[in-house]
Amino acid sequence: MNFDKLDITMRVFETNADKCVLPGIYMVARIDGRSFSRLTKEVCRFEAPYDERFRDMMVETVKHLMQCGFRVVFAYTQSDEISLLFHLDENSFNRKLRKYHSILAGEASAMFTHLLGQPAAFDCRISQLPGQELVVDYFRWRMEDAHRNCLNSHCYWMLRKQGTESDSAAKRLNGLSVAAKNELLFQNGINPADRFCQWLCL
């Protein structure tokens, strides 16, 4: 078979499901660590609930993603996830979703693996947001998620470091309100109003 004809025939199977983001739609990529609970707790044994080395590697990975060829105008990272807001006129690869998914996941995985010194993987998904209000809401959502997870983690690990078993610590926190968790930390010498601003901004 003629190669050109074969090439045209076979490329259909790669591209027939291509989806592109429409012009005028904001794109936000969320890049998440794959199996990072195991990576951070068992393989690398990072300090819980917060490790400056891990933070620094995530920040460097964000910097890399902002400079890898796309028009990224804003980035936010918390825990093992990164969110990237693209310029409204971003048009790489004609806005094909599979390209953003694969390239961003690959770039994040490669950079973090390089910094860590052992394999680490990320996945990627794109939110398609039709207006600025939804863009703001997206980042509010991730910030609230960060605050909730931060509060829960610091309460849990404070109890663990005081000698509470894992199941007992989880049961003690189950059903507690945000106010009660803040009070628990405050009673143990931690002022959440001061500390959370530092933890979330690092």
| Domain extents in the chain | 1-130, 132-202
pLDDT digits (tens, 9 = 90+) for 101-154: 999 999 999 999 999 999 999 999 999 999 999 999 999 999 999 888 888 888
pLDDT digits (tens, 9 = 90+) for 71-95: 999 999 999 999 999 999 999 999 9
Q: Distance between CA 186 and CA 57 in Å, rounded?
A: 30
Instruction: State pTM to two decimals.
Output: 0.85
pLDDT digits (tens, 9 = 90+) for 29-79: 999 999 998 998 889 888 888 889 999 999 999 999 999 999 999 999 999
| Six-digit token string for 34 | 């794959």
Q: Distance between CA 104 and CA 100 in Å, rounded?
A: 6
Element (H, E) at 11: helix 3-15
Sheet holding 72-78, edge to edge: 72-78, 81-86, 26-34, 121-129
CB 158 within 8 A of CB 188: yes
Q: 1-130 sits in which CATH class?
A: alpha beta
Q: How many CA atoms lie within 13 A of 155 on its CB side?
A: 27
- pLDDT in the model for residue 202: 35
CB 107 within 8 A of CB 84: no
Q: How confident is the model at residue 194 (pLDDT cuts 50, 70, 90)?
A: low
Q: What is the mean pLDDT of residues 16-25?
A: 90
CB 90 within 8 A of CB 70: yes
Q: How confident is the model at residue 193 (pLDDT cuts 50, 70, 90)?
A: low
